[in-house]
Amino acid sequence: MVVDQNFHNLKKFLFFLVLFISVPLNSFAKQFDFKKIINLEAPWGSSFINDEELIVTEKSGKIKLINIINNSVSEISHNLNFLEYGQGGLLDILYNDNYIYISYTENRNNFKTSTSIARAVLKKKRLEFENIFQANPPIDSPYHFGSRLAIKGDHLFASAGERGEGMIAQDVKKHPGSIIRINLDGSIPRDNPRFEGKSDWLPEIYQIGVRNPQGLVLSPFDQKIYISNHGAKGGDWFGEVKKGENYGWKILGWGGTNYSGTPIGPKWKPGFTKAIKYWVPSIATSAITIYKGKEFEEWNGNALITSLKDKSLRKLDFNDISNVKEEVIFKNKIGRIRDIQIHPISGKLFFLSQNGLWLMQKIN
């Protein structure tokens, strides 16, 4: 009888232990309401042009304007010479001061393409883009275009993937695998690394050694540019863009391996930029933002990291980079997440999944 009683008590203990562990996670997820606003086909980038309208790219080549109040959608024609090829197509889009900036896969003929950037005056019927940057050389590869855009003051930052070419990210005479910094009209800032001791660098290059960076954002708190980057088999990371430095691809493996399982290199070593947070195994880091808003004001200053592979939103408190705190906000709610935007007034979150636009808000 004593043994049976002890066994019964143990079962009760284990039951309540599991309940204690699981309830906070479930109750945390239930704090939020998810609403699908509209269906889209492989959307990639988005940007608020005002507090009611969001401009969105679809990888296949369409640019759409979505009214989040009445859910109406209109298509905006354009003149981009793009090619939907593998991971490429229309990529990020960014509104700033009556201009639209876009990164895209430019058709350079014979299946050679580049991650290119163009801008146009905002018009809601048709956008007449002019190129302001091309990642050279053009390459015949369907992989790793990047690309995200961020504006800081008079400068446009952009991420250019290494197109699956590995060590090209260490070649300072080629753009793929680097962070680009140009003036808003495409001209070259005279304080880029090229003019400050790195005379062999291409003038547009600000930092080298990245693989496939699909998150880039300006923090409204410290005015720094932050980035997320896809590793190979393991080795995704979140870090800071640093002038004239080198994140190390493909000398470093960031904790991951080649897809064949063969080693790449160390996670990090002195002489290279160290990321703030690594993920091994990979979560397939996508778009990021540094939260500032009313709806989730307790998150102000935290990084929000979206994921393609595990379909999650993660929150990073990185005030102390020696003790980064990570929380999974949700997982498997809306599918693979491609982009995230903060509403400029309410602070509610808008996501692009693989097939639509979603709203996330607190449950009152």
Q: pLDDT confidence of 364, banded at 50, 70, 90? A: confident
Q: How big is the CA angle at 40 (ends 36 and 41), to the nearest 5 degrees?
A: 140
Cβ atoms of 191 and 243 within 8 Å: the answer is no
The helix or strand, by DSSP H or E, that contains position 100, with its residue range, turns out to be strand 99-107
Q: How many CB atoms lie within 10 A of CB 262?
A: 9
Average pLDDT, the chain: 93
pLDDT in tens, 197-251: 999 999 999 999 999 999 999 999 999 999 999 999 999 999 999 999 999 999 9
CATH topology (fold) of 34-362: Neuraminidase (2.120.10)
Q: Is 177 left (phi over 0), alpha (psi -120 to 50) or beta?
A: left
Cβ atoms of 45 and 91 within 8 Å: the answer is yes
Q: What are phi and psi of 309, to 5 degrees?
A: -70, -50
Residue boundaries of the structural domains of the chain: 1-30, 34-362
pLDDT in tens, 243-286: 999 999 999 999 999 999 999 999 999 999 999 999 999 999 99
**CA Rg, the chain, in Å?**
22
Q: pLDDT confidence of 29, banded at 50, 70, 90? A: low
Cβ atoms of 121 and 66 within 8 Å: the answer is no
Can you point out the beta strands (E) in 155-276? Answer: 155-160, 178-183, 205-208, 212-218, 225-230, 236-240
Cβ atoms of 218 and 240 within 8 Å: the answer is no
* CA gap 197, 220 in Å, rounded: 29
Between strands 303-307 and 53-58, the pairing is unpaired
